[in-house]
A and B are shown apart, each in its own frame.
Chain A
Amino acid sequence: MALLEVNNLSISFGGLRAVDNFNIIIEKGELYGLIGPNGAGKTTVFNLLTGVYKPNEGIIRLDNEDITRKSTIEINHSGIARTFQNIRLFKEMSVIDNVKVGLAERFKYSALEGILHLGRFSGVEKEMDDEAMRLLKVFDLGSERDVLASNLPYGKQRKLEIARAMATNPKLLLLDEPAAGMNPNETGELMDTIALVRREFDMTILLIEHDMKLVSGICEKLTVLNFGRVLCQGETKEVLSNPEVITAYLGE
């Protein structure tokens, strides 16, 4: 059974069909790439999957559950976490607190216990700290736990964003251009991080990327979008050798 199954997904803004009849099937454990020229509708697909936009047509199923009309929050609770093209961290909060925001759905105590610092508060906070540190160490951010997120260098901000997404314990992780703005060195490190996330958490990942080296290096399957439509879909190698794809990328 596929983890994510999207059928006939479409959305229009004004007269423009930004995403038109989009289909995708992602199996558990896959690392899937969504590529395409600028303005092809890749981020719009992410926004549809995470409930930021509501589609005009189509069905999105996650783990056999229909999440099409759910809110962003509910979709996160159902098991999709994401990062953003332009990094969106909680800038004025510490690194560990960023992760603990992501953990909050799994580690609970009542607001009253929180305000009085009584009852389950201390125990749960301790568990959250431990879990957050475990995550941060995976992403090599352990020594920066008390640094303000905005003070982290760029590459580490990307990592923290992934760590925060992982903290929500997703079934599917969406990465929106994780290598944007990175130099080749940092991109290499990022590829290692993504590989690590798969290994460590047995995670299914869908990523948007422009960096062909990264895409061909780690993705098993690809979907190419062009003008909001699926141009080509399948194994990475086949897709990248498809003449239509080459035309779309390089022009006539």
Chain B
Amino acid sequence: MNKQTKNNLITYGIVIAFYIIFEILILTGHLSSHMKGLLVPMTYYAVIAVALNLCVGILGELSIGHCGFMCIGAFASAFFSKVTEESLPTAPRFILAFIIGIAFAALFGFLIGIPVLRLKGDYLAIVTLAFGEIIKNVINAFYIGIDSNGLHFSMKSSMELGMEKDGNIIVNGAMGITGTPHNSSFTIGIIVLLIALFVVQNLIASRDGRAIMAIRDNYIAAEACGVNVTSYKMMAFTISAAIAGAAGVLFSHNITTLTASSQYFGYNASIMILVYVVLGGIGNIRGSVIAACILYLLPELLRGFSTYRMLIYSIVLIVMMIINWSPKVIEWRKRTFGRFSFKKAGAKEAV
């Protein structure tokens, strides 16, 4: 068994151990209902952190609009679940909801990737932010209702839908979707997380993953080696968006009223995920999962800490970046610790 496989298994092991510990705590009644309510969000934040790390750490492109893909996954799947709630039994419906949420997020990842991936660096980052905001704003202007005549659609108001008396408004503009069935659970969240990890870790250890990382490290050399830069970028970005969509499905099936609000889907939310990724180690998939779980739970565990939470995160973020990336600091570390002994924790080998 090679190092990579072993590393991957350790990651799955950590997630499963984590799951078992929490399940025991629940069974023995040691978990308050407040804490139980945090478990599903923790899993979807871990899932989207994995997705974002694929984009930032493996593909090497900074996206600050990833919550937009989560938003698409959330709305597409919630819409489906609302429409089919009466007609389909829970299990197949929820599985279909996942497929639809993921497919829509992937589709938009692909479509948005076409223009976005032609750009580089700061420009790319700001355009992902722009798309994230566009998605949020457009969804906020959607009104969709259903009645005996079928679907009605408007971008003005619910009155404009012109529905029959038996009609039912499903997406109500800025008020979003209310009453999506609560199908997400901690167990399902963990399963989705494991699948996301499986996909990303296997991808990294494959021919396609190596091509993606080659583009990250030096796209000119990658082209000279015959790597099709555009299509591999698209592939990584689309998969990343799809996984973010899966996080969105978990999200929407865990909340009573789903709105495309800035709190959940704005660029600030995307930046929060970025904080998880950076603190867990850029390119270090396992690190993202651990960082997402700890950073999400910690402020909830330490009451009173939450006021200072963001303040401390931001300081840690700045300090981490300087320690890990400042040329002077790196040189000093090399001098002090030797050439080979000290490699950036987030570097590829740790994946």
Contact = CB atoms under 8 A, between A and B. Distances in A.
A12 interface: no
B226 A88 contact: no
A62 B184 CA distance: 59
Given A72-B224, A76-B224, A101-B227, A114 B206 contact: yes
A190 to B, nearest CB: 19
Q: How large is the interface on B (under 10, 10 to 19, 20 to 34, 35 or more residues)?
A: 20 to 34
A105 B221 contact: no
A28 interface: no
For the residues of B in contact with A, the DSSP-based class is: helix
Interface residues of A, number: 43
Given A92-B217, A93-B217, A114-B207, A101 B349 contact: no
A242 B339 CA distance: 48
A101 B348 contact: no
Contacts of B226: 73, 76-77, 102, 104-105, 168
Interface in B217-253: 217-218, 220-229, 235
B218 A88 contact: yes
A72 B227 CA distance: 9
B235 A90 contact: no
Given A105-B226, A151-B343, A168-B226, A90 B214 contact: yes
Given A92-B283, A92-B347, A101 B222 contact: yes
Contacts of B229: 73
B208 interface: yes
A82 interface: yes
A102 B208 CA distance: 12
Contacts of B349: 94, 146, 148
Contacts of A114: 202-203, 206-209
B207 A115 contact: no
Contact of A164 (B220, B225, B348): B225
B209 A90 contact: no
B242 to A, nearest CB: 11
B39 interface: no
A121 interface: yes
Interface string B178-202: 0000000000000000000001001
Given A109-B207, A148-B349, A89 B225 contact: no
A134 interface: no
A151 B202 CA distance: 25
Interface in A156-180: 164-165, 167-168
Interface in B283-317: 283
B71 interface: no
A108 interface: yes
| Those 8 A-B pairs whose CB atoms lie nearest each other, nearest first | A114-B206, A76-B226, A88-B221, A90-B217, A72-B223, A101-B214, A88-B218, A92-B348
11 contacts: A71-B223, A84-B221, A90-B221, A97-B210, A104-B211, A104-B225, A114-B202, A114-B203, A117-B202, A128-B207, A151-B339
